[in-house]
Amino acid sequence: MKEGIHPNYREVCFQDMSNNFKFVTRSCANTKEMIKMEDGRELPLYKLDTTSESHPFYTGTQKSVDNMGGRVEKFRNRFGKTAVKTEAA
């Protein structure tokens, strides 16, 4: 392989800032900070606003559009009756 053209692919610790959840994976992400892990390794730290541990879709706290004031039902009532139904003989 040619030297000097490939990104620095290494293990990086990603940390969710809302709940301090951490996970380690390999990445090329540029980081400025380091973190000392429980096992003694010192890894680059990449801070995240949200991960699967804090996102409402993955935690089951997301609200469905159907339950938000009946907007979908209002739409169906208003525009659902305009379609003409035909029966095949």
10 in Cβ contact with 44 (< 8 Å): yes
pTM of the model: 0.62
Instruction: Give pLDDT tens digits for 60-72.
Output: 776 665 556 677 7
Instruction: Give pLDDT tens digits for 11-47.
Output: 999 999 888 899 999 999 999 999 999 999 999 999 9
**Residues forming beta bridges with residue 77, ordered by sequence position:** none
Q: What does the domain layout of the chain look like in residue ranges?
A: 1-61
Summarize the chain as % helix, strand, coil (round to 5): 20, 25, 50
